[in-house]
Amino acid sequence: MNAVAIEEGMTSRIKSCVDMFHAAVADGEVDALRTRLRPDTAPDVAVRQADALTTPFAIDRRWRHLSAAEATRGVIGEAAARPAPECFSRNIENYIGQVTLPVGVVGPLRVRGTHACGDFHVPLATTEAALVASCQRGASAITESGGCVAITLSEGVSRSPGFVFGTLVEACEFAAWVAGAEAPLRKAAEATTRHGRLSSLRISVEGTHVWVIFEYTTGDASGQNMVTIATQAACEWIMACTPVRPLRWYVEANLSGDKKASAQSFQSVRGRKVCAEAHLPASVLSHRLQCDARAMEDYWRMSALGSVMSGAIGVQGHYANPLAALYIATGQDAACVSESAVGVTRFESRPDGSLYASVTLPNIMVGTVGGGTGLPTQRACLELLGLAGEGKARALAEVVASLSLAAELSIIAALASGHFTRAHAKLARGPRESVSHE
């Protein structure tokens, strides 16, 4: 199969990782792809330390480091830019006001990805002291090491309607009929959306229960509402046409993994599956993380066993921390942190004292259009990232994975070196007001 055929066959959905590299080889572009995904150690960016100063001078200094439009600064940084209530008419009910959260920035975080490629300044909305400082520390270590490689492996958002029958025979007859009706089901579902595409249809039978798992690509939207509406239309077509009538049916019967950590995370994908890796020299580990590779690997090994013994799904330290802060800042559905914060962190020390570190997150549920992403401050945060609007969702997912890697590096180094408690005591219990003498 040539590259043109591959591209035509993938018009409405992301190419798989294998197809992406296959196309690059077929087009003679594999060297260009390798270059894009190679760590970039060019010393053209200032790596900064985090601080807790909240003086006007300190805030102004941070903004001067960001290549953000003045309007973006105005929306995020000025209280007078508080959005009017009308902005929220499609985002909330029983509106009574707004809650203000402080927003910190982490960066530059260097990412060399299949969709995100550059130095990113990442906004985090949180009230947890030490989180931004910790992510900054990890981001500085990654950037100083040439950045992290991030690859989007696959994508898809599912709905799993359930159908109930009187007998097992009826359930199996229905399942066989649905399996042969993929074309009209696709037509019914896709008629409800400009961007959603039905990418696969799977069936699961348990006694008299049948789950029909619809999986979609959702363009640049996170897509929960999109796939619900599309699946409702498909189910209505089923009820109008099926030769075997169910006793009852539900548009979602809890097999999709929506907003929960589930064991199926590593067998499929929900949102986007992204893997990010970095190779950190011993000098960077010592200077930025005050730890060495062997100590970090030793701690990671014990924490991995702790995850297994506790029954956790995946092996990781605290994905939920950076994900929640980034999701809130950029208008994502914060409840999706429950499924997004599933994955695997891996650390390996190398003979030269360097550290190989990677994260794999199979359920990154983010979008750059729709939902809360269009609200003024959330849109401004996406603009600060350079990832607002159409064509940017896959890049945002790669930044999410890279940020998660930065956070894992920092917390594991802190725990391995015995600095974890000290950092939290210093930043969480310091004075409310910090005075700068600069």
220 assigned to active site: no
- Return the residue matching tokens 């986007």: 272
Token pair recorded at residue 2: 């040539």
> Do 85 and 94 touch, CB atoms closer than 8 A?
no
Instruction: Classify strands 162-164 and 209-217 as parallel, antiparallel or unpaired.
Output: antiparallel
CA dihedral 170, 172, 176, 182 (to 10 degrees): 90
Query: What single letter denotes the amino acid at residue 332?
Result: Q
The helix/strand/coil state of 414 is: helix
Q: How far is CA 273 from CA 23, 224, 427, in A?
A: 20, 16, 34
CA dihedral 174, 179, 183, 187 (to 10 degrees): 50
Q: Which of the residues 7, 128, 173, 252 is marked catalytic?
A: 128
| DSSP output for 270-326 | SEEEEEEEEEE-HHHHHHHHSS-HHHHHHHHHHHHHHHHHHT-SEE-S-THHHHHHH
What is the distance of C-alpha 105 from the center of its chain? 17
- Return the residue matching tokens 């003679």: 28
Q: Which of the residues 22, 65, 195, 424 is marked catalytic?
A: 424
Where do runs of H (alpha helix) occur along 83-127? none
DSSP 195: S
27 assigned to active site: no
In this structure, is the dihedral angle defined by the CA atoms of residues 399, 400, 402 and 403, taken in order, positive or negative?
A: positive
Q: How far apart are CA 425 and CA 130, in angstroms?
A: 9
Instruction: Give 9's Cβ-side CA count (13 Å radius).
Output: 11
**In degrees rounded to 5, what are phi and psi of residue 229?**
-65, -40
| DSSP output for 17-65 | HHHHHHHHHHTT-HHHHHHHTS----S-S---------SHHHHHHHHHH
Q: Which of the residues 19, 51, 333, 348 is marked catalytic?
A: 333
298 assigned to active site: no
Q: How far apart are CA 340 and CA 214, in angstroms?
A: 19
Q: How far apart are CA 158 and CA 198, in angstroms?
A: 9
Active site residues: 128, 333, 424
